[in-house]
Amino acid sequence: MIPVDPPSGLGLPSLEDIEQALALEGPDRAEIPGLYALNAERVPMLRLIGLQAVLAFAALHNTFMGVGPEWRVFLAVTLAVELYAVGSLLVLRRFFASFRRLHLGTVFVGLDLGVFTLIVWATGGARSWMWPLYLVRVADQMWIGRRRAAIMAVLGVFCYGGLLLGGSLSTGFEAATAVDLFKVASLAAFAAYMIAASGLPWNLQKRTPAARQVIVRLEAQAREISRQRARAEHASLAKSHFLARMSHELRTPLNSVVGFTNVLIKKQGANLPPRERDYLARIRENGMHLLALINDVLDIARIEEGELETHIAPIDLEHLVRDTLHQMEGRMVESKVRLSVSFPKSLTPLAADETRLRQVLINLIGNAIKFTREGWIRVEVHADPRDGTPASLSVADSGVGIEASRIHTIFDAFEQGESGYARKFSGTGLGLAISRSLCDLMSFDLSVASTEGEGSTFTVRFRPITDPEPVS
C-alpha cells in the first residue's frame, strides 16, 4: 500500500517520493528516503510523544473517575507502554530498511491497537472512557486508504469488544451490561462514519492506479521521445558534417576536370574531329552540372548546420536585378522566349545580403528559362508607391507550370518535377530549397503561384528597411 500524503507540510513523503514508490515494486520502496523518514523516523517519534500524552491523560482519567487498577499495576502498564514506544522507534530505525518484506511500519501500526487495549484496560476496562483511542488509528489510516481505515476499525472493534468480553467472562457475565454493548456499537458507528466520510482518500485510492499507469506511460514516452530526438539530431549533424566534408573534397578535383577540359577545348578544339570535340563538351557540361550539385549540397549542409551567415546591408535592387539578368544572358541566346523587366518609378535601397539575394534570383530566373520553351519571362520589382520602399520581386513565366499536387513540395530538398518535360532538364532539385532558406535567413518570404501548362510566378516579399528588428 502506498502512503498518499495530504497536500500540506505534515512531514509526509513528497509527491516525488510517491511517484518513485509507484514506479517501484516491493522491497525497493523501503529505500526511498521520504518513505524511510516517514516510517522509521516521524511516525515512531509521533507515537512516542502521543503515548506520553495518552498516559498522562490515563493517569488523570483514573484519578478523577476513580477507576483503574491499583497504582503499581498502572505503573507497570506505563512502563510497558514506554518500552513499546521506545522499542518501536529503535526497531524501525534499525530494521525498517533491512527487513523490507516485513512492512515493519504497518506491523507497528497494528500493534498500537494492542497497546491501546492495554491502556483501556488500565483505565478501567468496561468503565474506561478512553475507548475513542481506537478511532485515532482509523483517522490516520484514512489518508492511506479506505481499506486500511476499515481494517483498523474492525481490529479496534474486535480489541475493544474482546476486552469487554474478557472482563465479562472473568466476572461470570455479571458486569456485561447494555452500556458495554452500546460503547462497542458506538465505536463501530463512529469508525463506520469516518470510513464513509473519507471521500478524499477513497478518490485518491481509486485514482492512484490509473494515475500510476499514466505517469509510467508518460515517462516511458518522454524517455523514448528524447532518445529518438537525440538520435535524429546526431544523425542530422553527422550527415551535414559528412556532406560538407565530402562536397569540399569533391569540388577541388572537379574544378580541375572542368578547367582542363575548357583549356583543351580552347586550345585543341579546332584540331579535333567533331566526335572528340563533342565528347569534351559533354565532359565539361557534366562536370559543371556535378559542380553545381556539389555547391548546392554544400549550401544545404551549411544552412542545416546553421553555419550560413548573411551580411545585411542596404542594396540597390534595380542594379542587382539588371546585373543578374546581364550575367544570365548567355543562357537565353538560343531561347525563343521574350524576357522583360520592370521597376517602379521610385525605389529606395533594400536591406538584404546582396550575394544571397543574387543566388535566389539566379535560381528563380534560371528555372524560368529552363521550364519555358516559348512565350515570355517577366521580372518585376514592386515598391510602395508612397515612398518607394521595395515590397516584392517576382519572376513570372509562361512555361510548363507546376501540377497542383506538387506545388507544396517543390521547396523541399531534392524535389524535382515528375513530368516528362521537367525531366528533360538538368537540375539538382535543391535550388528552391536553398532559395527559400536564404529568403528565410533574410526574413523574406518566397512563395509560388502556378497553373500547369500556363506558367508560374515566384514572388519574394521583402521586409521594409525601416523595420527595427535586426535581420541576420
Min. distance of Cβ 21 from ligand ADP in angstroms? 57
User: Among residues 187 and 410, whose Cβ is nearest to ligand ADP?
Assistant: 410
User: Among residues 140 and 403, whose Cβ is nearest to ligand ADP?
Assistant: 403
Min. distance of Cβ 369 from ligand ADP in angstroms? 9
How far is it, in rounded angstroms, from Cα 145 to Cα 5? 10
> What is the footprint of ligand ADP within residues 228-257 (CB under 6 A)?
none
| Count of residues engaged in binding ligand ADP, rule: CB under 6 A | 22
Judged by CB under 6 A, the stretch of 124-132, 176-184, 204-212, 361-369 that binds ligand ADP is 361-369
Expressed in angstroms, the distance from the first to the final Cα of the chain is 59
367 binds ligand ADP (CB under 6 A): yes
3-state DSSP of the chain: CCCCCCCCCCCCCCHHHHHHHHHCCHHHHHHCHHHHHHHHHHHHHHHHHHHHHHHHHHHHHHHHHCCCCCHHHHHHHHHHHHHHHHHHHHHHHHHCCCCHHHCHHHHHHHHHHHHHHHHHHHCCHHHCCCCCHHHHHHHHHCCCCHHHHHHHHHHHHHHHHHHHHHHHHHCCCCCCCHHHHHHHHHHHHHHHHHHHHCHHHHHHHHHHHHHHHHHHHHHHHHHHHHHHHHHHHHHHHHHHHHHHHHHHHHHHHHHHHHHHHHHHHHHHHHHCCHHHHHHHHHHHHHHHHHHHHHHHHHHHHHHHHCCCCCCCEEECHHHHHHHHHHHCHHHHCCCEEEEEEECCCCCCCEEECHHHHHHHHHHHHHHHHHCCCEEEEEEEEEECCCCCCEEEEEEEECCCCCCHHHCCCCCCCCCCCCCHHHHCCCCCCCHHHHHHHHHHHCCCEEEEEEECCCEEEEEEECCCCCCCCCCC
User: Among residues 240 and 372, whose Cβ is nearest to ligand ADP?
Assistant: 372
Min. distance of Cβ 297 from ligand ADP in angstroms? 12
User: Among residues 300 and 315, whose Cβ is nearest to ligand ADP?
Assistant: 300
363 binds ligand ADP (CB under 6 A): yes
Judged by CB under 6 A, the stretch of 112-120, 172-180, 299-307, 420-428 that binds ligand ADP is 420-428
User: Among residues 208 and 392, whose Cβ is nearest to ligand ADP?
Assistant: 392
Cell numbers that stand for 4 in this block:
498518499
294 binds ligand ADP (CB under 6 A): no
Min. distance of Cβ 229 from ligand ADP in angstroms? 28
> What is the footprint of ligand ADP within residues 18-47 (CB under 6 A)?
none
432 binds ligand ADP (CB under 6 A): yes
430 binds ligand ADP (CB under 6 A): yes
415 binds ligand ADP (CB under 6 A): yes
344 binds ligand ADP (CB under 6 A): no
User: Among residues 428 and 437, whose Cβ is nearest to ligand ADP?
Assistant: 428
407 binds ligand ADP (CB under 6 A): no
User: Among residues 219 and 418, whose Cβ is nearest to ligand ADP?
Assistant: 418
427 binds ligand ADP (CB under 6 A): yes
428 binds ligand ADP (CB under 6 A): yes
Contact assessment for residue 391 and residue 461, using Cβ atoms and an 8 Å cutoff: yes
Contact assessment for residue 182 and residue 160, using Cβ atoms and an 8 Å cutoff: no
Min. distance of Cβ 383 from ligand ADP in angstroms? 24
User: Among residues 87 and 453, whose Cβ is nearest to ligand ADP?
Assistant: 453
User: Among residues 321 and 433, whose Cβ is nearest to ligand ADP?
Assistant: 433
Min. distance of Cβ 277 from ligand ADP in angstroms? 27
299 binds ligand ADP (CB under 6 A): no
Q: Which of 429, 445, 465, 471 binds ligand ADP (CB under 6 A)?
A: 429
Min. distance of Cβ 397 from ligand ADP in angstroms? 5
Question: Of the candidates 193, 161, 195, 154, which has an alpha carbon nearest to the alpha carbon of residue 176?
Answer: 161
- Positions that interact with ligand ADP (CB under 6 A): 363, 367-368, 371, 397, 399-402, 410, 415-417, 422, 427-433, 456
